[in-house]
Chains A and B, each alone.
Chain A
Amino acid sequence: MSTTPRLRYEGREIPIEEGETALSACARAGIVIPSSCLSGACQSCLVRARSGEIPAAAQVGLGPAKKALGCLLACLCRPTGALELEALDASSEYKATIAAVERLAPTIVRVRLRMDDEMSYRPGQFVTLLRADGLARAYSIASLPSEATIELHVREVRGGQMSGWLADPARVGEAVRLRGPAGECFFTSEALSRPLVMVGVGTGLAPLWGIVRDALAQGHAGPITLLHGARVIEDLYLRGPLTALARAHPGLDLRLCALHGEGDAEVTIGEIDALAKSTVAAMPGRASARAFVCGDPAMVARLKKGLFLAGLSLREIVGDAFVEGPRPAAAL
């Protein structure tokens, strides 16, 4: 039974209409909750319920620990009764300093963060990066916990508020805050001999660069196929390090692919989903394989479908779609 929605945020009564999200109601009342993708993917708008009934849709994709704390996503939260929310307190955020900004390709930079607060994470998870003014965006972690800094790969989006800001070398020394880490996109060691398939589109390689090295460090023995696709060859921004890694690990099969440009011995010209599908269809043991798929949301959806049709179990296909804005209304 649904009753009229009623919302309180940090003790303040917030007018809310039926079917409206908590994020939108707060915004109308002049309260800015950090947000980015407006579709539940980036977790920038995480808040906590003090009391009331949490709509199930507002907790989709949250881990058990966050659910138990009453955390929820304000952008998906359409209260059906009385609900009292509060901001996550500062103790759930980590302070960090931008330590280096390094250009890897014409539109891609590597950003290294030095953690001022300790944060434990699994390579491949993502964090919400908050600027001093509250602007929030999600970025995947490419580094290993054993490394001194957190490594992010950021594609400069035209007119992009956060990515444009981050890509400027003058940012070194700036303080930021991190929330998270979040997401299920990381290596787990329960089946060390199964095949792993990793497909990254653009900076979708970031989490995979963490995951592949994590898997090798944890003694993964099964074959690993890593595909990186980009629009143009110059955007295959880790070609050197990836090739070196593959040379050092015979079990690692590296496939590079670009939409445009002149192909060579290492780079196929074409669509990455076609390459992924044909590669996996010829792979022994694919029915037990686990796949990680990250990057552009439309391509991630196509890749998931392609890998599923090539014989992988949908349950074993994980990954993050780098949603940059509200998702177009999906078919119901």
Chain B
Amino acid sequence: MSTIYEQIGGEPAMSAAVELFYRKVLSDEVIARFFEGVDMERQMGKQKAFLTMVTGGPNNYTGRNMRDAHAHLVKTGLSDVHFDHVVKHLGDTLLELGVPAELVAQVGAAAESMRADVLDR
């Protein structure tokens, strides 16, 4: 069975999604502070890792696990509210790119499954 990543359109679709998604995230005052001071190009690579991960794309992510990657953010107040915003931007991005609603829902569920790890609970 093909992954959501493939159904969405693979790497080229992901590259388009990442800019759209990242622009939404940085423009959102509720969560923007978490991304301050992070180098843009590098952060872009991480956003791509994020999107690839939640859509079941090729798993070449070799970075830290989700708990460790966000632990320092939890210390500065990362909580459910912020998580919800990120998940909403994720869904909006995919819908804007014409991804069918049922696939978007599956991606949302995949993201949801990482909530406890990201929020270090």
A313 touches B19 (CB 8 A): yes
Q: A305-B26, A309-B27 are in contact. Are A331 and B38 (CB under 8 A)?
A: yes
Residue A314, interface by CB 8 Å: yes
Q: Count B interface residues, CB 8 Å.
A: 12
Residue B9, interface by CB 8 Å: no
B41 touches A314 (CB 8 A): yes
Residue B98, interface by CB 8 Å: no
* Residues of chain B lying within 8 A (CB to CB) of residue A311: 23
* Residues of chain A lying within 8 A (CB to CB) of residue B39: 301, 330-331
Residue B77, interface by CB 8 Å: no
* Residues of chain A lying within 8 A (CB to CB) of residue B40: 301, 304-305, 308, 314
Tell me the chain A residues, 223-275 only, with Cβ under 8 Å from chain B.
none
Residue B44, interface by CB 8 Å: yes
Tell me the chain B residues, 19-77 only, with Cβ under 8 Å from chain A.
19, 22-23, 26-27, 37-42, 44
Minimum C-beta distance from A300 to chain B (A): 10
Question: Which of B19, B22, B27 is the most central at the interface, judged by chain A CB atoms within 10 Å of its CB?
Answer: B19
- Which range holds the interface residue count of chain A? 10 to 19
Is chain B's interface secondary structure helix, strand, loop, or mixed overall? helix
* Residues of chain B lying within 8 A (CB to CB) of residue A330: 37-39, 42
* Residues of chain B lying within 8 A (CB to CB) of residue A313: 19
The chain B residue with its CB closest to the CB of A287 is: B19
The chain B residue with its CB closest to the CB of A328 is: B37
* Residues of chain B lying within 8 A (CB to CB) of residue A301: 39-40
Minimum C-beta distance from B18 to chain A (A): 9
* Residues of chain A lying within 8 A (CB to CB) of residue B37: 330-331
B26 touches A314 (CB 8 A): no
> Within the assembled complex, what's the spacing in Å between the Cα atoms of A313 and B16?
10
A309 contact from B23, B41, B42, B44, Cβ within 8 A: B23
Q: A305-B26, A309-B26, A309-B27 are in contact. Are A314 and B38 (CB under 8 A)?
A: no
* Residues of chain A lying within 8 A (CB to CB) of residue B23: 308-309, 311
9 cross-chain pairs, A with B, having the tightest CB-CB distances, nearest first:
A331-B38, A330-B39, A331-B37, A304-B40, A309-B27, A309-B26, A305-B40, A313-B19, A314-B44
Q: What are 19 A-B interface contacts by the 8 Å CB criterion?
A: A301-B40, A305-B26, A305-B40, A308-B19, A308-B22, A308-B23, A308-B40, A309-B26, A309-B27, A311-B23, A313-B19, A314-B19, A314-B22, A314-B40, A330-B37, A330-B39, A330-B42, A331-B37, A331-B38
- Interface residue ranges, A against B (CB under 8 Å): 301, 304-305, 308-309, 311, 313-314, 330-331
